[in-house]
Amino acid sequence: MEPGYNKIEMMICTAARFLEDGKTVAVGTGAPCAAAMLAQKVNAPNLVIIFEAGGLAPLLPQMPISVGDSRTFFRGIMAAGMNEMMTTCCRGLVDYAFLGGAQIDKFGNINSTVIGDYHKPKVRFPGSGGANDFASFCWQTLVITVQNKTRFVEKVDFITSPGYLTGPGEREKAGLPAGSGPYKIITNLAVMGFDPETREMMIESIHQGVELIDVLENSSFKPIIPEKTSITPPPSERELQILRREVDPNRYIIGRQ
């Protein structure tokens, strides 16, 4: 990584650029929340942020520590509840959702439930929460995650949150909205999208200081490699200043190694 910023800052700044002004985004805490806050302050001042606990369109004064933190309602237009937020997604009114998980596969399916057999797992995680609703009914899903072989797997052990399931047309067969699905995967190494024909994960850009072989060696499946791969633009000085001074001055997120 180029000097002047770390990998977490790179991921947050990159993710923030995909959030468009005037759009809606459902987020949790951590890096996704930091990306949404940064987007509001830099490139999307009219971005509407939604928290599953009920905060709608807050102007976040500080980084919240949970989706039910009182700061997620600060200067918002509504203090509702989980039922209202989930039905808002089901009505097709949310453009973007940020998710994470223990595993993700080439079709963008996410596992945050178990590692191993469901009934006798090696590890059991918290499960879905609102993640399945977000992945099923928000139009485009983004993921910020560290990339390695244990996380990027050929097939997830359990589908907590649906991506493109087993390939083209499978979301629609399952009754999910046509045109919805995984959009961008932002890792510490690269930005991935999805091929419109096969629905498989595809490299879009590689971060500065990273080689293609690094991306491939940190995945248990081979993502589609286009004829030309671009370099992900690094964080700007303005993005870093706002991220460090206003979004996460206590370095709760960007201080992680």
Q: Cα(185)–Cα(204) distance, rounded to whole angstroms?
A: 10
52: annotated active-site residue: yes
108 contacts 180 by C-beta, under 8 angstroms: no
Which pair of tokens denotes residue 216? 């491939």
Among the options 9, 52, 200, 239, which is catalytic?
A: 52
Q: By C-alpha distance, which of 139, 134, 162, 129 is closest to 50?
A: 134
Q: Cα(57)–Cα(119) distance, rounded to whole angstroms?
A: 40
Q: Cα(33)–Cα(44) distance, rounded to whole angstroms?
A: 14
**3-class SS at 135?**
helix
Q: Please give the positions annotated as active site.
A: 52
